[in-house]
Amino acid sequence: MAIIVYGIPYSTRTQRVLFVLEKLGLPYQLEKIDLALGEQSSPEFIASHHPFGKVPAIEHDGVRLFESRAIARYLVAKKPGALTLPTDAVALGTFEEAASVDYSYFEPAVSKLAWEKIFKKRFTGQEPDPQVIAQLERDLKQVLDYYEKILAERKWLSGEDLSLIDVFTIPWFHFLNTGLGYGNEIESRQHLKSWWNKASQDPAWKKVLSL
């Protein structure tokens, strides 16, 4: 049975789930949720799919899940393969460390920059705060410097092979580059640039961008 994905292709978190599905070759059906119309906030959607009115969510064989990272881990568990989590203690620790950097430092910096520079005025009418932006840019540069350091020692963010951590971050790096105009922060870091050149050419990722 095909996995039903509730989301929208331009959502970075929906892209994570679609990316995993494409990498694993799992059949899926995308049910588009119009965020501009607030469909994700409807009582029906909240009751059936996501209690906090967000995307993505999935439905599969009677199982309903929300939150992109949880969905990704579920999918990998359903079809072990290239993205399977490591079992070696050191490799697993490195993986979880990279996962924590992603959700504690990288994603918050980019998502808050997106809010302050793009969405704040659109949804609240308030102007961007230059001081807030400056602090978020410092936060972003700190985590990008960290990525530059570890990518000098390994091919991918959590080891020698592409993992869920790369899949989790690629949509945000794409948005950082094309949506926020911080491509120079990638280009100016040799090892991060090399990683991004590989990551952005992944056929599964290109398929997600074509949706």
Domain edge (last residue) among 47, 78, 109: 78
- Determine the Cα–Cα distance for residues 190 and 143; give it in Å rounded to an integer: 15
Residue 96 sits in the same domain as residue 179:
yes
> What local confidence, expressed as pLDDT, does residue 82 receive?
81
pLDDT category of residue 126 using cuts at 50, 70 and 90: very high
* 155 and 178, same domain (yes or no): yes
Q: Whole-angstrom Cα distance, residue 187 to residue 96?
A: 27
Strand 3-7 with 28-32, pairing: parallel
Which DSSP letter does residue 33 get?
-
The total domain count for the chain is 2
Claim to verify: residue 122 and residue 206 sit in the same structural domain: yes
Kindly state whether residues 53 and 146 are assigned to the same domain: no
Domain stops at, among 78, 100, 134:
78
Specify whether 23 is located in the same domain as 93.
no
Residues 201, 159 contacting (CB under 8 angstroms): no
Provide the whole-model pTM: 0.95
Side-chain half-sphere CA neighbours of 97 within 13 A: 12
| Mean of pLDDT values over 186-198 | 99
In a domain, 65, yes or no: yes
Is residue 30 located within the same domain as residue 112?
Answer: no
DSSP string covering 152-182: TT-SBTTBSS--HHHHHHHHHHHHHHHTS--
Instruction: Specify if 83 maps to a domain.
Output: no
> Lowest mean pLDDT: which of 17-26, 116-125, 188-197, 198-207?
116-125
CA distance linking residue 165 with residue 168, whole number of Å: 5
Segment 31-42, tens digit of pLDDT: 999 998 999 999
Structural domain contains residue 201:
yes
* Percentage helix, strand, coil for the chain under 3-state DSSP, each rounded to 5: 60, 10, 30
84 part of a folded domain: no
Query: Average pLDDT in the 160-185 region?
Result: 97
Q: The domain spanning residue 25 has which CATH number?
A: 3.40.30.10
Helix (H, G, I), strand (E, B) or coil at 6: strand
Establish if 173 belongs to a structural domain.
yes
Whether residue 163 is contained in a domain is answered as yes
Does the pLDDT of residue 1 top 90, yes or no? no
The residue range of the domain holding 10 is: 3-78
64 and 162 co-located in one domain: no
pLDDT at 165 over 90: yes
Category of 121 on φ-ψ map: left (φ > 0), alpha (ψ -120 to 50) or beta: alpha
Return the pLDDT at 81. 85
Domain termination site, one of 78, 108, 125: 78
Residues 50 and 107 in one domain: no
- On whether both 148 and 195 belong to a single domain, the answer is yes
Residue 144 lies in a domain: yes
pLDDT in tens, 46-59: 999 999 999 999 99
- For 123: left if phi > 0, alpha if psi spans -120 to 50, otherwise beta; the answer is alpha
DSSP H or E run through 66: strand 63-66
In angstroms, rounded to a whole number, what is the distance separating the alpha carbons of residues 75 and 17?
Answer: 9
| Angle in degrees, 0-180, between the axes of helices 164-178 and 68-78, rounded to the nearest 10 | 140
